[in-house]
């Protein structure tokens, strides 16, 4: 995995799983279409309506829950951070969610484009600007605070 990200700007699902610990049914991004390790990532997911949460939200009027959009943006931020060699094989955790605003409903058939830009990262604590786009329309935006723990060092 160490050399896989040199010059690579796109990742498929298998490569995403090589970076972050999320797995089905909770891996909520299908592909990374732009990546600058430690700086920025853009991921996508096409909502099919068959996702595990969709049957109950809402029957007859399916809408992707806002919390799923937030998690998708957070997973994108985690890819950006964990693609950096200092954090690869570590763990990303929420430290806070600030001023997330929802601007548009997301429905089955939509493809979400999740953008995460690291505004600040110091000693593993990061402030990441995130947004979700559906086509040219803003669906959600805000700031995620996260702690990215480096891989545990082996002790002799």
The set of residues, in sequence order, having a beta carbon less than 8 Å from that of 142 and lying 6+ positions away, is: 70, 73, 97, 98, 99, 100, 101, 129, 130, 131
Tokens of 132: 């979700």
- DSSP label at 154? P
Residues with a catalytic annotation lie at 57
Confidence at residue 9, expressed as pLDDT on a 0 to 100 scale? 80
Asked if the model's pLDDT at residue 14 lies above 60, the reply is: yes
Sign of CA dihedral 80, 66, 139, 54: positive
Band of the pLDDT at 88, cuts 50, 70, 90? confident
Q: Tens digits of per-residue pLDDT, 55-64?
A: 999 999 999 9
Band of the pLDDT at 156, cuts 50, 70, 90? low
| CA 126 from centre of chain | 14
Asked if the model's pLDDT at residue 5 lies above 70, the reply is: no
């Amino acid at each position: 995995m160490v050399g896989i990200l040199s010059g690579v700007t796109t990742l498929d699902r298998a490569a995403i799983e090589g970076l972050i610990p999320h797995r089905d049914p909770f891996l909520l991004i299908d592909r990374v279409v732009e990546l600058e390790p430690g700086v920025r990532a853009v991921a996508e997911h096409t909502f099919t309506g068959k996702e595990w949460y969709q049957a109950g939200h809402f029957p007859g009027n399916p809408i992707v829950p806002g919390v799923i959009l937030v998690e998708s943006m957070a997973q994108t931020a985690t890819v950006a951070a964990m693609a950096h060699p200092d954090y690869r094989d570590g763990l990303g955790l929420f430290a806070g969610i600030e001023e997330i605003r929802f601007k548009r409903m997301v429905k089955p058939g939509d493809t979400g484009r999740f953008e995460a830009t690291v505004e600040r990262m110091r000693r593993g604590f990061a402030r990441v600007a995130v947004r979700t786009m559906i086509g040219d329309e803003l669906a959600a935006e805000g700031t995620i605070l996260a702690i990215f723990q480096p891989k545990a060092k082996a002790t002799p």
